[in-house]
Amino acid sequence: MYVNQERVFYYLTVMNENYEHPAMPEGAEEGIKRGMYLFEKDEKATVQLLGSGVILREVIKAAKILRDEYQIHSNVWSVTSFNELSRDGMACEEYNRLHPLTEEVKESWVSKQLRGTEGIVVSATDHMRAYSEQIRAYLPDGRPFVALGTDGYGRSDTRANLRSFFGVDAAHIVVATLKKLADEGEVDARLVKDAISNFELDTDRPVAWAPQAHPEVQAVAEYHEAQTGEGN
């Protein structure tokens, strides 16, 4: 950066969960650099599941549940950077706007990857929903899209409880997928209700970003400084 006078910086994102990382799929190098690659392909896929960071593991679990219990097949995509996908989409958008007569219309990376696929797109990350919402404008053919994220104030708890609370665990990913499919008329809404019951999800809890109740504050006795006599 300094020697070559490059206007760039590099960073590493370090997670706080230890687990064995799967092998890199063959031919994934370009997608890793550009922000997204196909991690797990299903020839019968009618749903596209996107996962980022440690939540990719929850997405993989959700894909298995959808396949085994609901006979719904999914492709699993690993998103290494929604920011990079958004920047690429904006660059293509600007080029096309400024070259209205060109025959070479540029297409965003995320659109290229998903164009040959079918079905709704569901993303899950441990960031705010706005992080993955960045790519909505660049999905091909106005594809139906659901973004799950951890909007709300930070909490202390186990990983499993936190992911359930914020709605980014495998159970909530499955329910979100089924609900969007029901909205599109592809499955019966009763299937969604059954899934909510099977996962024992609390349907009446406040949303994660709602103000939390404050614990009752105990009154503290006032402090009075001891008075000393003039002669002391």
HEC string for 4-49: CCCCCCCCCCCCCCCCCCCCCCCCCHHHHHHCEEEEECCCCCCEEE
Q: How confident is the model at residue 218 (pLDDT cuts 50, 70, 90)?
A: low
Complete DSSP assignment for 91-154: HHHHHHHH-TT-S-----HHHHHHHTS-SEEEEE-SS-HHHHHTTGGGSGGG--EEEE---S--
In which band, very low, low, confident or very high, does the pLDDT at 144 lie, cut at 50, 70 and 90? very high
Look over the chain and give the mean of its residue pLDDT values, rounded to a whole number.
91
The mean-pLDDT minimum among 90-99, 106-115, 131-140, 204-213 falls in: 204-213
Q: How far is it, in rounded angstroms, from Cα 179 to Cα 189? A: 7
Q: On the CB side of 209, how many CA atoms lie within 13 Å of its CA? A: 8
Q: 36 with 80: CB under 8 angstroms?
A: yes
The CATH code belonging to domain 33-198 is 3.40.50.920
Q: What is the mean pLDDT of residues 207-217?
A: 77
What residue segments make up the domains of the chain, in order of their start? 33-198
Q: What would the pLDDT profile of 81-106 be if each residue is shown by its tens digit?
A: 999 999 999 999 999 999 999 889 99
Contact criterion met (CB below 8 Å) for 70 and 191: yes
Per-residue pLDDT, averaged over 32-56, amounts to 96
Query: What angle is formed at CA 42 by the lines to CA 36 and CA 191, rounded to 5 degrees?
Result: 100
Query: What is the rounded average pLDDT of the residues 193-205?
Result: 95
Which pLDDT belongs to residue 203?
93
Joined tokens for residue 132: 């993955």
CB atoms within 10 A of CB 161: 12
Lowest pLDDT segment from 19-33, 62-76, 124-138 = 19-33
**How many whole angstroms separate alpha carbon 70 and alpha carbon 74?**
11
Query: What's the rounded Cα separation, in Å, for the pair 72 and 32?
Result: 27
pTM of the entire structure?
0.87
pLDDT at 201 over 70: yes
Other C-beta atoms closer than 10 Å to the C-beta of 179 total 19
d(CA 173, CA 182): 14
**Of 3-7, 111-115, 116-120, 159-163, the least confident:** 3-7
